Amino acid sequence: MRRIALLLLPLSALAAPAEPLVDFAKLHPRAILDIRYATKNNFTHEAVYPAAKCLLRESAAKALAAAASDFESMGLRLVVFDCYRPLSVQKKFWAILPDERYVANPAEGSNHNRGAAVDVTLADVQGRELPMPSAYDDSSPRSHRDWKGSSPAERKNMRLLEAVMLRHGFIGLPTEWWHFDAKNCGDYPVLDVPLR
């Protein structure tokens, strides 16, 4: 009788292949794309992306589209500042601001590098951004979710943004009111695919 050797694979090897990156604007064209890193209007003061695109893992993009639809039912629009970010850009950010409260260490990678994090805010139907506790990319305690110095309107808007994003599977970063990670962000590898 021949013996058959069993090959035992780790569970991670049996997982489904990684989801592709998809263009969020094609799923929800009514959202406002204000991809700051494709402009000089960001903390680096230079355009570090060659294209103003929001690429996300497919499940994250679908969840974000559902959140954007929820906001629309409230008479609001979702504004997207950042989505997938190449690791090479993360390294530039770390060289400028090596503070893990605001920039993920590229040695471990950011969930943006995995295509599973978004930076967003809200606007009214005319596209005017709602008041929030700080400007986008503010690297100070004003950007923290628990900052006590914001106005009642700013706190209300921030909490609404957080509540709807959480309902659609996104977890907020404590130090940046605009940053949300997809609940399964750890399932994806860090990428350094150029934005085109």
Parent domain of 35: 18-187
Q: pLDDT tens-digit profile of 114-166?
A: 999 999 999 999 999 999 999 999 999 999 999 999 999 999 999 999 999 99
Annotate 124-160 with DSSP letters as a single string.
ETTSPBPP-SS-TT--SGGGSTT-TTS-HHHHHHHHH
Annotated catalytic residue, options 19, 46, 154, 176: 176
Q: Is residue 3 part of a domain?
A: no
Q: Is residue 47 part of a domain?
A: yes
Q: pLDDT tens-digit profile of 24-35?
A: 999 999 999 999
The average confidence (pLDDT) of the chain is 92
Q: Is residue 13 part of a domain?
A: no
Q: Is residue 6 part of a domain?
A: no
Long-range contact set of residues 183-186: C-beta below 8 Å, sequence gap at least 24? 184/59, 184/116, 185/60, 185/111, 185/114, 185/116, 185/117, 186/114
Q: Is residue 157 part of a domain?
A: yes
Q: Which of 122, 143, 133, 129 is nearest to 43 (CA)?
A: 143
176 forms beta bridges with 173
Domain count, the chain: 1
Surface-to-core class of residue 129, CB atoms within 10 Å of its CB (0-12 exposed, 13-18 middle, 19+ buried): middle
Q: Is residue 12 part of a domain?
A: no
Clarify whether 176 is annotated catalytic: yes
Model pTM?
Answer: 0.90
Q: Is residue 195 part of a domain?
A: no
> Does residue 6 have a pLDDT over 80?
no
Contact 102, 112 (CB under 8 A): no
Indicate the pLDDT class of residue 196, thresholds 50, 70 and 90: confident
Q: pLDDT tens-digit profile of 18-73?
A: 699 999 999 999 999 999 999 999 999 999 999 999 999 999 999 999 999 999 99
Q: Is residue 9 part of a domain?
A: no
Q: What is the CATH number of the domain that holds 170?
A: 3.30.1380.10
Give the C-alpha separation, 175 to 142, whole Å: 9
